[in-house]
Amino acid sequence: MAKINFTYLPGDGIGPEVGGAAINVLKAVSSKFGHNLEIEQHLIGGAAIDVLGKPLPAETFESCKRTGAILLGAVGGPKWDHLKGAERPELGSLLPLRKKLNLYANIRPCKPYDELISRSPLKHERIVGTDFIVMRELTGGIYFGKKGRDSSGAFDECRYSKKEIERITIKAFDLARQRKKKVTSVDKSNVLETSRLWRETVTEVSERYNDVKVEHLLIDAMTMHMLTDSQNFDVILTENMFGDILTDEASVLTGSMGVIPSASISDGNVGMYEPIHGSAPDISGQNKANPLAMILSAAWMLRLSFDMDTEASSIESAVKLALTENQTTADLGGPLSTQQVGSWIAKYVQN
């Protein structure tokens, strides 16, 4: 009997609802495959501020550090918009977690489901056959640089070390070797010094991977090519802010943000797994939020943190079937509630 011990952070808004559906599915997986499920649940973000006065309580961080596997719902909302800087749910919880746990590689897939292609605003021929992954550096760059204000304005420092660029580049090339053997590195080297170092370092690392093709694109050109030539990409490698922008743009190709999981990983099996959507406070508590991205994030956790590929694949197959048979929430045209979708997928996995 294998043990699945992880930290569950429901978070804010619809986080507890989609998280509950994912936990239901994980219970079915543990029952089906004979595993011991050990869940450590803690507060984070706005919910933690309301109860404990801080967005990342010590007990929450210690649990994350101990288990090394984190399933996160969502963080933030307008209720806490009046707070400043690290007092805010997102800045005070997600960024410290990424930094302290060294979660430097964010992975987001873009492989549209056939059933959802018609929901994209792009033409069918622009989307069909798309299958790429964005590898985003997550603990450096402008989000973590020195920032502040003076009498004349404000500033945000963007800084990267060669070591930071090298380690994320190695992960991207290793991943490409398992896929279509192509890496597209995205920067702004015609303007930014950090991007010039980025391109130089990627080029150096690429020399160790003679079997992997590498190309370099500027970020402004990439925003166009992603929508007009999406089938041409395999692994897209980029820095923190550019990756933040590109991954949201990529969601347009899938037809729905509600089906895209993400993984933020370090070395070894340490990782945090979450849907790319936000806390959606406007529909919170209504049991109609789409839980598929959260359920798929749980599958990624099984695969990457627990080496359970068969179990993860069983969840992904169930999600695919739910889309085919229209067993989804209303945003995807289905008749089910959040928890009903979770129960349907859990039942399919169990049986």
Residue with tokens 């398992």: 178
Active site residue 50: no
Instruction: Determine the Cα–Cα distance for residues 43 and 308; give it in Å rounded to an integer.
Output: 27
Active site residue 188: yes
Residue in 65, 79, 182, 244 annotated catalytic:
244
pLDDT of residue 85: 85
Using alpha carbons only, give the angle 117, 119, 120 rounded to the nearest 5 degrees.
75
Using alpha carbons only, give the angle 234, 167, 227 rounded to the nearest 5 degrees.
25
Exposure letters 60-71 (e unless 16+ CB within 10 A, then b) = bbebbeebbbbb
pLDDT of residue 79: 94
Active site residue 248: yes
Contacts of 139 (CB under 8 A, 6+ apart): 98, 99, 102, 103, 104, 164, 240
Summarize pLDDT for 224-234 with one digit per residue, the tens. Answer: 999 999 999 99
pLDDT of residue 256: 87
Structure tokens belonging to residue 94: 């997600």
Residue in 50, 156, 220, 309 annotated catalytic:
220
* Three-class SS state of 35: coil
Tens of each residue's pLDDT in the chain, 351 residues = 799 999 999 999 999 999 999 999 999 999 999 999 999 999 999 999 999 999 999 999 999 999 999 999 999 999 999 998 889 999 999 989 999 999 999 999 999 999 999 888 888 898 999 999 999 999 999 999 999 999 999 999 999 999 999 999 999 999 999 999 999 999 999 999 999 999 999 999 999 999 999 999 999 999 999 999 999 999 999 999 999 999 989 988 998 889 999 999 999 899 999 999 999 999 999 999 999 999 999 999 999 999 999 999 999 999 999 999 999 999 999 999 999 999 999 999 998
Active site residue 220: yes
Residue in 114, 229, 248, 267 annotated catalytic:
248
Q: Pairing relation of β-strands 36-41 and 235-238? A: unpaired
Cβ(133)–Cβ(108) below 8 Å = yes
Domains of the chain: 1-103+277-351 (3.40.718.10), 104-265 (3.40.718.10)
* Three-class SS state of 308: coil
What is the DSSP code string of 143-201? TTS-EEEETTEEEE-----HHHHHHHHHHHHHHHHTTTSEEEEEE-TTT-HHHHHHHHH
Q: Pairing relation of β-strands 261-265 and 271-275? A: antiparallel
Reported residue count of the chain is 351
Strands of 202-324, DSSP E: 213-218, 235-238, 261-265, 271-275
* Three-class SS state of 323: helix
Instruction: Determine the Cα–Cα distance for residues 178 and 209; give it in Å rounded to an integer.
Output: 12
Residue in 8, 143, 160, 273 annotated catalytic:
143
Tell me the pTM.
Answer: 0.92
* Dmax (CA) of the chain: 65
| Neighbour order of strands in the sheet with 261-265 | 36-41, 3-11, 69-74, 271-275, 261-265, 105-110, 132-137, 235-238, 182-187, 213-218
pLDDT of residue 77: 95
Instruction: Determine the Cα–Cα distance for residues 191 and 325; give it in Å rounded to an integer.
Output: 49
Exposure letters 103-126 (e unless 16+ CB within 10 A, then b) = bbbbbbbbebbebbbeebebeeeb
Active site residue 234: no
